[in-house]
Structures are given as C-alpha cells and as structure tokens.
C-alpha cells in the first residue's frame, strides 16, 4: 500500500495516521532542510499538536534548498508530504506512525521565487532551519561570516536567484519590509551552541553587505530564539524501508527512524507567536545556554568520541562501538573529568542520570546509528562539540589530555583508513584540506593543528599541543585499544 493521502484510511488499519484533516491546516512555518532530524523532531512535535486538534495555523512547508535534495523533494511530492516515523524502542519493538504536519513542500532550485514568496507570506510566522552545522557559513578563525564562499559570492551578485539560506532569508525579509508586513521568527534547530545568536549574527553580517538598509528593520522585527534540540535520528537504511513494507505493508520511499528519547528546550522569544509545543513535551525557558552546553559537550561530543575511536577500530555503528568496554569507559571518563567541570547551573536536571541515560541511548542496538554519519563533517563538529570544552578547561587550568587524545585520533582517522587498513569514507566539506594536514601530521603531528578555521588559537597552547602530540605518537605506536586501556586503568 503506497503511502499517500488517498490511502490514509486503509493505512490507518495498520499504523497510527493523522486524525486531522490536513486540508484544514494553514502553513504557519516554513522549514528549510527537510532531512531526517526535522522529520523526527519538530515535525513530530507539531504533528502531536495537530493530533490534539490544536494549532491549525501551524502547518509546515518543507523547503529543500540544495540540488542534492531532489530525492527527498520528489519523495514528499509523491507521498503528499506524508512519511512514516519509526521509533525504535529500547526493548527492540518499533512504534510506527504516519506524520502529516508537513502540508506543503517546495524545491528551491526549481523555483526560487516561490520559496521567497512563501517565506514572505503573511500567514508564515516562523522560519525554522536544520541546515547542518556547515550551513551557517561561520569561519572559526575570523569568528565571522565566510564571504569567501563561492555560493555567497553568487548570492551577492544575483540576489533574485539565490542559492544559500542567507540569500533566501534576505530576499524574503526585504519583501516583508517593502510590503509593510510584520517580521517573523527565525529559529535554528541545528546543533550549534546559541544557535539563535549564530543565525542572527551570520544573517546580519550578510545583510549589511547585501542590503544594508534592511539591517535595522531585521533587528527590530525579527526574533532569533536559541534552542537546544535532541533526538538521535540515524540515516534511514534500505533495511528500514523493507522492514516497514514487510511488517506493515506500507510502501514508503523514505521513512524516518529515531530513538524514543526527545528533548527540545526553547528560549521563549517569538516575534509573532508560536505553536504550543510546550503542550507536547517541549520546554520553554528564558535561558537555553546551560542546557545547550550540556547537550553539545556530552551527547554530541560523546557521539564524535565514539564515532572517531570506533571508526579506527573498524566498527560500523555507534552501538557496536559503545559496547566495547574500553571505549565506553573512556567516554565516561571524558564526560566526568573534562566536561562536567565546565557545565553551568542546570536547574531541574539530574546530570548524573543524564550521563547514565546517554550511555544507554548510545547503546540502543536498534538504532544502528552509522559511524560514517556521525563522523561526517567532523571539521564543523569538533569546533562546536569538543574544542569549546578544551578552551574552557585550559582557562580553568583543568585537564585536556582526554580531549587531546580524541583530536589526535581524529587526525589519524583523517588519513582515511582504519587500523586494519580498511578505507574509511570521509564526508567533509574540508576533506581536501584535512587530507593535506593529516598527511603532513604523519611525520609532524603538529601540522594537523594548523587547520586554522578549526583550531584557531588552540595551536598556541603548549599544554594542549603537548598532550595532543603525546597522544598522536601513542596511538601510532600502540593502537587505539591499547591506549584506551592504559588511559582507563591509569584514571580509575
């Protein structure tokens, strides 16, 4: 049974489907980046609200911005925006549900004007984003907007035919201003610390150059709430698609799989109102920063730690790697010794329980989160997930040995082979540069720290550099597993 609107009533005999009339739902949110995470998280929360027969003004229009997104766009078009969410419970069972909150979908490369008009539509009050860490165009070395990006250069030259999020947002906000419309909320749902401030600062940098007269209007009329997002959502595998077909008879070209845990802590700062996501489990707070810091430096960093170490040891999935006692003990140590001291006040949160739950979540055998996915774009992830911890620990005169070990492992991983010589698939916007520096590091480990946009000033810290070089040589001489054994036994 093919998943689409006309088959919904038949599908309802097999799995939960939207109990609301999707034709009644008005689009109040434009979301850019309709990847797996958006569909497991925000679209799911929004669907829960619609199931409660609330918030009919908050349907989602999903925008695919990149040429690369043809497949997801065509899938959503074929399936009337519907998809199946498969929640992989800890006990091995699967909870399946058809999500209906994406009521419209647009493919930007096909019709940029349509996307700009949609973002400028008076009914649209919120523009949300999951454009990945790399999509923000932030340069760590200059701590500013990367005007060297060729697509940004293109958008500055051809503002009516943009290719980047900045080109689109600028044109849409310009239209809102010219038409005397209200501003809106631009809400990042990416894994970036103070993601609201990030998108605000990057957008304003771009606008000051592209449309200077729009700057003040944006400052006065657009809000950029920070938010912490969490739900492990691995890439969908062909087995997931086949299993859905075999167990429920549903033909869905791109279901989404995720863990049961979900968390969304949002700064309550919305220019034109918001859905009642608080009714379905989201938490609205005045300051998201401490929660974000906790999550990025424990969960996201934890993922990168297991991913990089696991990749070198030849594991394919996160759960396999975390069931290696040496890796999980190392991660436990890293979280307690180097991360916990830098965390702020987390009112209402049991940190020990959070860390314990994390290891259980990583170990969920049903999630099969691909190490390749977790390690992809590490050059954008390390500066956000791991290096802030290093900087804070250096400031506190705390230990950085464990983080330095992870960076050394990443340098060796960047050579593109695991410890058995099996090639690793490295997906990274900076792949070429990583390649050059990782190769130079074989004879001179320090060379890897010369990746300016990633490490910035850190290469000048003697304490960090020495710990990193020691770890690099140790891994090269003894292998990851032996090093982990030593570190763990020395620290326990």
Residues in 211-250 that interact with ligand NAD by CB under 6 A: 229-233
Cα 24 to Cα 36: distance, rounded to the nearest angstrom: 25
Site string for ligand NAD, 125-154 (x = CB under 6 A): -----xxxxxx-------------------
Closest distance of CB 35 from ligand NAD, Å: 2
Nearer to ligand NAD, 150 or 490 (CB): 150
User: Of these, 17, 66, 127, 469, which contacts ligand NAD (CB under 6 A)?
Assistant: 66
Which residue's entry shows tokens 């340069």?
139
Angle in degrees, CA 252, 255, 257, rounded to 5: 150
To the nearest whole angstrom, how small is the minimum distance from the Cβ of residue 304 to ligand NAD?
A: 12
Q: Which residue has the tokens 């991360």?
A: 339
CB of 463 to ligand NAD, least distance (A): 30
Burial 255-291 (b: 16+ CB within 10 A, else e): bbbbbbbbbbbbbebbbbebbebeebebbbbeebebb
Cα–Cα distances in angstroms (integers) from residue 239 to residues 21, 75, 98, 203, 333, in the given order: 31, 18, 18, 40, 35
Task: Give min distance, CB of 429 to ligand NAD, in A.
Answer: 9
Least CB distance from residue 19 to ligand NAD, whole Å? 26
Note whether 306 binds ligand NAD by CB under 6 A: no
- The residue within the footprint of ligand NAD, chosen from 15, 17, 34, 406 (CB under 6 A), is 34
| Nearest alpha-carbon partner for 366 in 421, 318, 308 | 318
Closer to ligand NAD at the Cβ: 37 or 58? Answer: 37
Q: In this chain, which of 69, 240, 252, 418 binds ligand NAD, going by CB under 6 A? A: 69
Q: How far apart are CA 214 and CA 342, in angstroms?
A: 39
Q: Does 399 bind ligand NAD (CB under 6 A)?
A: no
Stretch that binds ligand NAD, among 35-43, 47-55, 279-287, 457-465 (CB under 6 A): 35-43
Angle made by CA atoms 308, 357, 389, in degrees to the nearest 5: 50
Distance of CA 325 to the CA centre of its chain: 27
The kind and range of the H/E element at 75 are helix 70-78
Minimum Å gap between C-beta 378 and ligand NAD is: 12
Stretch that binds ligand NAD, among 58-66, 316-324, 325-333, 338-346 (CB under 6 A): 58-66
Integer Cα distance of 473 and 478 in angstroms: 8
Under the rule (CB under 6 A), what is the footprint of ligand NAD? 32-38, 64-66, 69, 130-135, 165, 190-191, 229-233
């Amino acid at each position: 049974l093919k998943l689409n609107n006309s088959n919904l009533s038949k599908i309802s005999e097999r799995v939960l489907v939207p109990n609301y009339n999707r034709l009644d739902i008005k689009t109040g949110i434009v979301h850019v980046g309709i990847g797996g995470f958006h569909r497991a998280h925000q679209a799911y929360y929004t669907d829960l609200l619609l199931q409660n027969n609330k918030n009919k003004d908050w349907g989602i229009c999903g925008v695919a911005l990149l040429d690369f997104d043809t497949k997801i766009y065509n899938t959503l078009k074929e399936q009337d925006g519907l998809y199946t969410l498969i929640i992989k419970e800890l006990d091995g069972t699967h909870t399946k549900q058809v999500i209906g909150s994406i009521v419209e979908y647009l493919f930007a490369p096909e019709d940029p004007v349509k996307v700009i008009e949609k973002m400028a539509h008076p009914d649209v009050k919120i523009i949300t984003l999951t454009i990945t860490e790399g999509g923000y165009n932030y340069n760590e070395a200059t701590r500013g907007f990367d005007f060297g990006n060729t697509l940004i250069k293109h958008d500055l030259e051809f503002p009516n035919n943009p290719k980047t999020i900045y080109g689109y947002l600028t044109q849409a906000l310009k239209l809102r201003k010219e038409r005397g419309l209200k501003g809106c909320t631009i809400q990042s749902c990416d894994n970036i610390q103070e993601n609201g401030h990030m998108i605000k600062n990057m957008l304003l940098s771009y606008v000051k150059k592209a449309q200077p007269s729009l700057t003040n209007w944006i400052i006065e009329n657009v809000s950029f709430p920070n938010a912490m997002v969490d739900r492990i959502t691995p890439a969908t595998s062909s087995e997931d698609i086949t299993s859905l077909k075999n167990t429920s008879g549903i033909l869905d070209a791109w279901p989404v799989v995720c863990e049961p845990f979900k968390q969304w802590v949002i700064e309550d700062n919305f220019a034109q109102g918001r859905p009642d996501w608080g009714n379905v489990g989201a938490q609205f707070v005045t300051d998201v920063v401490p929660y974000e810091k906790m999550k990025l430096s424990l969960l996201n960093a934890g993922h990168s730690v297991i991913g990089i170490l696991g990749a070198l040891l030849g594991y394919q999935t996160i759960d396999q790697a975390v069931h290696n006692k040496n890796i999980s003990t190392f991660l436990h140590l890293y979280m307690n010794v180097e991360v916990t001291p830098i965390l702020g006040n987390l009112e209402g949160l049991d940190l020990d329980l959070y860390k314990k739950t994390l290891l259980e979540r990583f170990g969920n055998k049903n999630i099969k989160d691909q190490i390749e996915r977790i390690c992809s774009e590490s050059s954008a992830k390390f500066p956000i997930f791991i290096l802030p911890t290093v900087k804070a620990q250096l400031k506190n005169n705390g230990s950085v040995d464990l983080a330095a070990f992870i960076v050394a492992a990443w340098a060796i991983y960047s050579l593109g082979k695991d410890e058995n010589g099996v090639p690793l698939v490295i997906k990274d916007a900076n792949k070429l540069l990583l390649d050059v520096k990782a190769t130079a590091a074989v004879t001179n480990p320090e060379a890897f720290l010369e990746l300016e946009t990633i490490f910035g000033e850190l290469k000048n810290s003697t304490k960090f550099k020495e710990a990193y070089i020691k770890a690099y040589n140790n891994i090269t001489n003894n292998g990851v597993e032996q090093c982990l054994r030593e570190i763990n036994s020395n620290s326990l």
